[in-house]
Amino acid sequence: MKIPLSKPYVPKNILATLEKVIGSGVLHGNAGSCVRVEELMEERFGFKHVLLTTSGTHSLELSMMLLDAHEGDEVILPSFTFVSTANAVLRAGLTPVFADIDDKTLDISPDDVTRLITPRTRAIVPVHYAGVACEMGSLLKLANEGGLMVIEDAAHAIGSTYKGRFLGGVGQMGCFSFHGTKNVTCGEGGAFITNDDSLASRAEIIREKGTNRAQFMKGIVDKYTWVDIGSSYVLSEILAAFLEAELNEFDFIQERRKSIYVFYIDHLRPLEKEGLLQLPVIPSYAESNYHLFHIILPSEEIRNKLMAYLRNAGIDTAFHYVPLHTSPFGSRFARGELPVTDRIASCLLRLPLYPELESSKLAYIIENVRGFFGGLI
């Protein structure tokens, strides 16, 4: 038996869809599928402006370029995140400030954000870990009081909600990833979200190499030219067509992920009751998209032994993340201890979760997790 940690869902009839795009002769971005996906996301999730991009990383870079900030200004983000969240801050000439996380949701702790706000703070970046919403009410309140922007790193969180509002559209800006490991994918891709018209029109310019090409395409100007600093963040038509096909099967993908997540919870609950592990928590304000399934073990040693045990049984698992404040490059930005981040990062283990994970394989995973603990007792 060989069970991967994740496996991208490939939409039905995708080859015919891609053949059609290739036959159309239009392969560059901002064409038919790109516009349709943007409209579809706007409608389904209630976002005012969606701009597809080449990656979640690039959406984050774009959002940091839109901050009206200067060198030395600070952006607060969790240390428990992917490197892209912090790289985007640095690439805009700003300073990342790492906050601790909540030990239940593994999302940024509003109390720790409060500790870290200084006169130089310009933005807070909540990362909705595993697709579970950060405590956005407290974060938005802090941001309002301090005149700060909230940029959601919603890389994990397409379709998840906070108090009924879709994540990505709760702060001033939001960033999705469509990387091959995400619920909805086109291999590599992303989306930038905002409900603010002026941020959206500048984002269109940055995405198009600093030109007003988007306005030209809409017939607003009669030629296009260089009007601002920019980059090349437009998603190609081939990838946008793949994404469109994925989004058309979004309900099916979500249904499958939810049933696997619920299976894990139901079958691992007895082990949690015995104090052998901690299951993930979804607070009442959040509706998850079941992006990841993780367990937290009592120690790093037990986590590593379980990982090796499952690997021997052909089951892939993974850690998450090496905390940025302890990484070789990120440690220079550390400000004090982040004890919850340190503990969670050394005790967390992700189990396989993808739409095509069959029930026989799920049963096999549970059997092996139980087998491991049986051997320990």
Ligand X SMILES: Cc1ncc(COP(=O)(O)O)c(C=O)c1O
Using the contact rule CB under 6 A, the part of the chain among 52-60, 253-261, 306-314, 354-362 near ligand X is: 52-60
Binding to ligand X by residue 341, rule CB under 6 A? no
Shortest gap between Cβ of 85 and ligand X (angstroms)? 5
Shortest gap between Cβ of 200 and ligand X (angstroms)? 20
- Beta carbons of 176 and 291 less than 8 angstroms apart: no
Nearer Cβ to ligand X (153/208): 153
SS3 for the chain is CCECCCCCCCCCCHHHHHHHHHHHCCCCCCCHHHHHHHHHHHHHHCCCEEEEECCHHHHHHHHHHCCCCCCCCEEEEECCCCHHHHHHHHHCCCEEEEECECCCCCCECHHHHHHHCCCCEEEECCECHHHCCCCHHHHHHHHHHHCCEEEEECCCCCCCEECCEECCCCCCEEEEECECCCCCCCECCEEEEECCHHHHHHHHHHHECCECHHHHHCCCCCCCCECCCCCECCCCHHHHHHHHHHHHCHHHHHHHHHHHHHHHHHHHHHHHHCCCCECCCCCCCEECCCCCEEEECCCHHHHHHHHHHHHHCCECCECCCCCHHHCCCHHHHCCCCCHHHHHHHHHEEEECCCCCCCHHHHHHHHHHHHHHHHHHC
Using the contact rule CB under 6 A, the part of the chain among 27-35, 96-104, 152-160, 270-278 near ligand X is: 152-160
Nearer Cβ to ligand X (271/280): 280
Nearer Cβ to ligand X (56/323): 56
Shortest gap between Cβ of 177 and ligand X (angstroms)? 3
Residues 300-319 touching ligand X, rule: CB under 6 A, are: none
Nearer Cβ to ligand X (84/194): 84
Nearer Cβ to ligand X (86/306): 86
Nearer Cβ to ligand X (79/212): 79
Shortest gap between Cβ of 184 and ligand X (angstroms)? 11
Residue nearest to ligand X (CB): 56
- Binding-residue pattern over the window 69 to 98 for ligand X, x denoting contact by CB under 6 A: ------------xx-xx-------------
**Residues β-bridged to residue 349:** 295
Binding to ligand X by residue 246, rule CB under 6 A? no
- Binding-residue pattern over the window 181 to 210 for ligand X, x denoting contact by CB under 6 A: ---------x--------------------
- Answer for which of 56, 96, 131, 230 binds ligand X (CB under 6 A) is 56
- Answer for which of 57, 160, 211, 317 binds ligand X (CB under 6 A) is 57
Binding to ligand X by residue 211, rule CB under 6 A? no
Q: Nearest to residue 9, comparing CAs of 140, 183, 259, 164? A: 183
Binding to ligand X by residue 179, rule CB under 6 A? yes
**Which parts of this chain interact with ligand X (CB under 6 A)?**
55-57, 81-82, 84-85, 127, 153, 155-156, 177, 179, 190
